[in-house]
């Protein structure tokens, strides 16, 4: 059974996790998510994605520990011993070629690997009852599919260490306070808010949007001067294409002519 539902809505691709009770992700589900986001990445008519889940209790509990315990997955060198699909675990945690924006609409708790997948997205909108947790430490393991790498970069290090070492939960409101979550909304307004943002993004020139992700990823850990030099001389094909694009000329012409631009994606 496919537990990943994919829906096209104009230029937006919506990916919904639907594996009751907790959307625990095994190898097959991770591969399905990878294929869904590869569709977003490769389809020129798709400009932005939304990731969410069914229900309102849990977005995802992350790794399917029952499958791990049953020997269906391996812990040691897990990234080598099994094929988790395009983009790594959950299709996003190591998707270094994904230049299209992905909005995470968190409908419920983001736990362990589910939290790591959420952090892989570009924008996070959370329902007001959402909580975040990294419960790996009492299990004798660590969250190494993104939390160790990303969380101390997204929130203050000491707060991240509280979550990693003590396993304490964080509310959506506190996450918004630290900038981890962009917006908190009542649960009944979640998809309306996510779709409004997606539609706004989809109204922009796609090469410009994709350039933001390409450049930001490339210069993230560089000193300021090196970051400027990399934009000038580095391997940034989307940025180069954007500078010469018809859309860039159209956007400037539309501004001068006081009309709405007609972006076409090239």
Residue 38 lies in a domain: yes
Are 122 and 84 part of one and the same domain?
yes
Does residue 263 fall inside a structural domain?
no
Q: What confidence tens digit (pLDDT) does each residue in 130-141 have?
A: 999 999 988 899
- Decide which of 202, 231, 246 is a domain's last residue: 202
235, 159: one domain: no
Does the residue 266 lie in any domain? no
pLDDT value of residue 123: 98
Q: In angstroms, what CA-CA distances link 245 with 212, 214, 242, 259, 266?
A: 15, 16, 5, 19, 6
What's the pTM value of the predicted model, to 2 decimals?
A: 0.95
Q: Is the domain of 248 the same as that of 178? A: no
For residue 46, is it within any domain? yes
Residues 194 and 215 in one domain: no
Do residue 130 and residue 234 come from a single domain?
Answer: no
* Nearby residues of 212 by Cβ (< 8 Å), 6 or more positions away: 101
Does residue 22 sit in the same domain as residue 63?
yes
pLDDT at position 68: 75
User: Alpha-carbon distance 199 to 58, whole Å?
Assistant: 25
User: Among 19-23, 64-68, 104-108, 129-133, where is mean pLDDT lowest?
Assistant: 64-68
CATH number of the CATH domain containing 188: 3.90.226.10
Q: How many structural domains is the chain composed of?
A: 2
| Whether residues 78 and 180 fall in one domain | yes
Residues 151 and 130 in one domain: yes
Question: 210 with 198, same domain?
Answer: no
Are both 25 and 50 inside the same structural domain? Answer: yes
Domain of 218? 206-256
Nearest Cα to Cα of residue 181 among 115, 136, 135: 115
Instruction: Please determine, for residue 77, whether its predicted confidence score (pLDDT) is greater than 90.
Output: no
pLDDT of 207 over the 70 cut: yes
**Counts of helices then strands in the chain (DSSP H, E):** 12, 10
pLDDT (average), residues 10-24:
96
Kindly report, residue by residue over 234-243, the tens digit of the pLDDT.
999 999 999 9
Specify the pLDDT at position 70.
75
Looking at the fold, whether 178 and 148 belong to one and the same domain comes out as yes
Label residue 1 by pLDDT band (50, 70, 90): low
**Residue 72 has what pLDDT?**
74
List Cβ neighbours of 232 (8 Å cut-off, separation of 6 or more). none
The mean pLDDT value of the chain amounts to 95
* Separation between Cα atoms, residue 167 and residue 100, nearest integer Å: 32
80 vs 78: CA distance, rounded Å: 5
* Residue-level pLDDT at 39: 98
Which of 182, 179, 176, 146 lies closest to 164, judged by CA? 146
Query: Is 262 inside a domain boundary?
Result: no
Q: Is residue 193 part of a domain?
A: yes
Q: What is the pLDDT of residues 148-176, one digit of tens each?
A: 999 999 999 999 999 999 999 999 999 99
Using only C-alpha atoms, the chain has a radius of gyration, in whole angstroms, of 19
Structural domain includes residue 265: no
Domain co-membership, 171 together with 93: yes
Q: Which residues are catalytic?
A: 116, 136
Which of the listed residues 178, 202, 226 is the one where a domain comes to its end? Answer: 202
Indicate whether 264 belongs to any domain: no
Tens-digit pLDDT profile for residues 36-57: 999 999 999 999 999 999 989 9
């Amino acid at each position: 059974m496919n537990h990943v539902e994919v829906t096209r809505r104009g230029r937006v691709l919506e990916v919904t996790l639907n594996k009751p009770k907790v959307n625990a992700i095994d190898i097959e589900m991770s591969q399905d998510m990878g294929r869904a986001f590869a569709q977003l990445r490769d389809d020129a008519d798709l400009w932005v994605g939304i990731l969410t889940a069914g229900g309102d209790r849990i977005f995802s509990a992350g790794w399917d520990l029952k499958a791990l315990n049953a020997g269906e997955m391996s812990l040691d060198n897990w990234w080598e011993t099994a094929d988790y699909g395009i983009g790594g675990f959950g299709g996003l945690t190591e998707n270094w070629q994904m230049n299209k924006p992905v909005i995470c609409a968190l409908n419920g708790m983001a736990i362990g690997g589910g939290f790591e997948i959420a952090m892989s997205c570009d924008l996070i909108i959370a329902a007001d009852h959402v909580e975040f947790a990294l419960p790996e430490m009492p299990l004798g393991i660590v969250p190494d599919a993104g939390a160790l790498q990303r969380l101390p970069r997204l929130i203050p290090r000491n707060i991240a260490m509280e979550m990693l070492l003590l396993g304490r939960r964080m509310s959506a409101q506190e996450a918004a306070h630290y900038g981890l979550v962009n917006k908190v909304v009542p649960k009944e307004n979640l998809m309306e808010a996510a779709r409004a943002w997606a539609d706004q993004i989809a109204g922009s020139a796609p090469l410009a949007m994709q350039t933001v992700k390409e450049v930001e990823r490339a210069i993230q850990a560089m000193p300021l001067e090196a970051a400027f030099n990399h934009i000038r001389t580095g391997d940034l094909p989307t940025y180069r294409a954007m500078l010469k694009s018809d859309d860039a000329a159209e956007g400037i012409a539309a501004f001068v002519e006081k009309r709405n631009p007609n972006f076409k994606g090239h």
